[in-house]
A and B are shown apart, each in its own frame.
Chain A
């Protein structure tokens, strides 16, 4: 049995062992699918307005109803899937790479560099992170790209701390000493020995982070600092629908809100499964 077949079999085992895991994986696949094909299968154009049919409750014609400008909410929710996932994935990738590398370097070398960067990160964490994101977007400008950067930056500390702790604990292990005896340079030890061993913990963080990043982007849009109308994005949609709830039009905010909730929930569940797949000690 080759290493790759064994890996696939192990992954399969992990995914099917626990029903919750299976649910989260299936859910994630659906979400991913919708992100990819969403715009194609949307029944209506998400941007087309039709004031005649504004604020219609859910019906056979409009499954999720229409918003105040007569746009089909179902189509908008579907199309927003892609945008929100892309924003979150980009932000998380950036913060994961930068935060983990920085944390690994600090955890490995310790000393003054560690002290300096660590204090910098502490300063960052002293701010309420959402407020920091707001400040960044306000300063840099109100674009989708800037939301990604802002979300990425405020998430760096989490990866930094995790990576630093994981690397620092393992730094004095026998196998790191053995690696140096075998001729591995410090860079190689960090990248091929220590970080891969820290991966299971980091992966769980990534998954939870995805949910948080989506909420973050949605939150920024909610307060008008993110995606601008008429772009379909869950946060904006919830913002616009929020005021209408009092007037009885519950569906405008509910469906995008539900979408947010389900996706975040799914990513949290997924974190555990991913860790089990990535950690070789869980292999039977």
Chain B
């Protein structure tokens, strides 16, 4: 499997204006000795063709920003993004609309209601990328839209309806149909089932899984829910305060996490089956501020139950502690302390 997407040391900083004693977030195009919010602070990973890579993390970790950087909706501050071998990182987000790769990278959004234009019928929503990117018209357009609707299990008669006349599950399907209508190679999914009921989530997850097996599309699946990511993804990245702290195969990370934060995340998720419940590792407090994050130490040190002096003196590098399993920790769990 060749590498579809290769991300190297990707960073996104926002300049923070500390004047007047208050903080204001601005764009990063003026140089001064101002502070910076490190939304994404050096992330590297790759996604292969038809692979599903998951990204888990909590609010403020930068996963939303990262997903928008990958989708070329935002401009990165620095770093490299190679798609199908071509460098697309420096290409401005505004001009990416005309790029031939635009239809190859598509996105499914979290809130189905917010991500659909209230004035567009379901048909128009799905047809939009076809019209704009592939210039499809007439009969061809109709059949493509209908095919996309079929692929997501949306009954044809709902195509003429408007978002406010449709249920959450149906809206989620439309969002997916829109994204796949132009046959993208990479689909970025930003918490696609978080706002859905459990019963609907199950349907959509099965749908997404089925689609991937059929069309060989690659997924970059962002979620806060490890349970969901575990079912859909082959590999998982765990993100904390702008960096990836652990990366490895989905099932293994879940059963044998090596980073204390991952362990805390897993043990915080409620489980129905008492036997699956882990011994709880609780981390209290708040993450450090992402503004001017210290680069010379582990950024999880303040909250880590296993913190040692080395953690505050040296930033832990990303190490491959087991085949295809990487951790950024001086004392990874279950690996043995130095």
Q: Is the CB–CB distance between B119 and A182 below 8 Å?
A: no
Given A173-B114, A281-B118: A181 and B164 within 8 A (CB)? no
Contacts of B164 in A (CB 8 A): 280-281, 283
Range for the number of chain B residues in contact with chain A: 20 to 34
Contacts of B107 in A (CB 8 A): 177-178, 181
Residue in B73, B119, B132 whose CB lies within 8 Å of A197: B119
Q: Is the CB–CB distance between B109 and A197 below 8 Å?
A: no
Residue in A177, A188, A197 whose CB lies within 8 Å of B115: A177
Is B129 interfacial (CB 8 A cutoff)?
A: yes
Contacts of B116 in A (CB 8 A): 174-175, 178
Q: Which of B93, B109, B116, B128 has the most CB of A within 10 A?
A: B128
Contacts of B94 in A (CB 8 A): 186
Is A184 interfacial (CB 8 A cutoff)?
A: yes
Contacts of B133 in A (CB 8 A): 182-183
Is B46 interfacial (CB 8 A cutoff)?
A: no
B57 to chain A, nearest CB (A): 20
Interface residues of A in 149-176 (CB under 8 A from B): 173-175
Kindly report which residue of chain A lies nearest to residue B108, judged by CB atoms: A178
B73-117 CB mask vs A (1 if < 8 Å, else 0) is 100000000000000000001100110001100110111001111
Is A212 interfacial (CB 8 A cutoff)?
A: no
A45 to B164, CA, bound (A): 55
Is A44 interfacial (CB 8 A cutoff)?
A: no
Q: Is the CB–CB distance between A178 and B121 below 8 Å?
A: no
A189 to chain B, nearest CB (A): 10
A102 to B140, CA, bound (A): 37
Contacts of B93 in A (CB 8 A): 180
Q: Is the CB–CB distance between B114 and A174 below 8 Å?
A: yes
Contacts of A3 in B (CB 8 A): 121, 160
A282 to B118, CA, bound (A): 11
Contacts of B128 in A (CB 8 A): 179, 182, 184
Given A3-B160, A174-B109, A283-B162: A181 and B118 within 8 A (CB)? no
B90 to chain A, nearest CB (A): 18
Q: Is the CB–CB distance between B115 and A181 below 8 Å?
A: no
Is A19 interfacial (CB 8 A cutoff)?
A: no
A167 to B162, CA, bound (A): 21
Q: Is the CB–CB distance between B97 and A184 below 8 Å?
A: yes
Number of A-B residue pairs having CB atoms within 8 Å of each other in the complex: 70
Contacts of A18 in B (CB 8 A): none
Is A185 interfacial (CB 8 A cutoff)?
A: yes
B199 to chain A, nearest CB (A): 23
Q: How many residues of A contact B (CB 8 A)?
A: 21
A5 to B141, CA, bound (A): 23
Q: Is the CB–CB distance between A185 and B97 below 8 Å?
A: yes
Given A174-B109, A186-B94: A181 and B73 within 8 A (CB)? yes
Q: Which of A177, A281, A283 has the most CB of B within 10 A?
A: A177
Is A229 interfacial (CB 8 A cutoff)?
A: no
A59 to chain B, nearest CB (A): 55
A112 to chain B, nearest CB (A): 12
A244 to chain B, nearest CB (A): 53
Q: Is the CB–CB distance between A178 and B115 below 8 Å?
A: yes
Is B71 interfacial (CB 8 A cutoff)?
A: yes
Given A178-B178, A280-B162, A281-B164: A183 and B115 within 8 A (CB)? no
Interface residues of B in 147-176 (CB under 8 A from A): 160, 162, 164-165, 175
A177 to B71, CA, bound (A): 10
Residue in B97, B118, B132 whose CB lies within 8 Å of A280: B118
Q: Is the CB–CB distance between A177 and B109 below 8 Å?
A: yes
Given A179-B128, A183-B103: A174 and B111 within 8 A (CB)? yes
Interface residues of A in 132-156 (CB under 8 A from B): none
Contacts of B97 in A (CB 8 A): 180, 183-185
Contacts of A177 in B (CB 8 A): 68, 73, 107, 109, 115
Contacts of A175 in B (CB 8 A): 114-117
New contact pairs (17) apart from A3-B160, A175-B114, A280-B118, CB-CB < 8 Å: A173-B114, A175-B115, A175-B116, A178-B107, A178-B175, A179-B117, A180-B97, A181-B71, A181-B73, A181-B179, A182-B128, A184-B97, A184-B132, A280-B119, A281-B118, A283-B162, A283-B165
**30 CB < 8 A contacts A-B:** A3-B160, A173-B114, A173-B115, A174-B111, A174-B114, A174-B115, A175-B115, A177-B115, A178-B107, A178-B116, A178-B175, A179-B128, A180-B93, A180-B97, A181-B106, A181-B129, A181-B179, A182-B132, A182-B178, A183-B98, A183-B102, A183-B129, A184-B128, A185-B97, A188-B132, A197-B117, A280-B118, A281-B162, A283-B162, A283-B164
Residues on A lying within 8 angstroms of B by beta carbon are 3, 173-175, 177-186, 188, 193, 196-197, 280-281, 283
The 8 closest A-B pairs by CB, nearest first: A174-B115, A183-B132, A182-B129, A174-B114, A183-B133, A175-B117, A174-B109, A182-B128
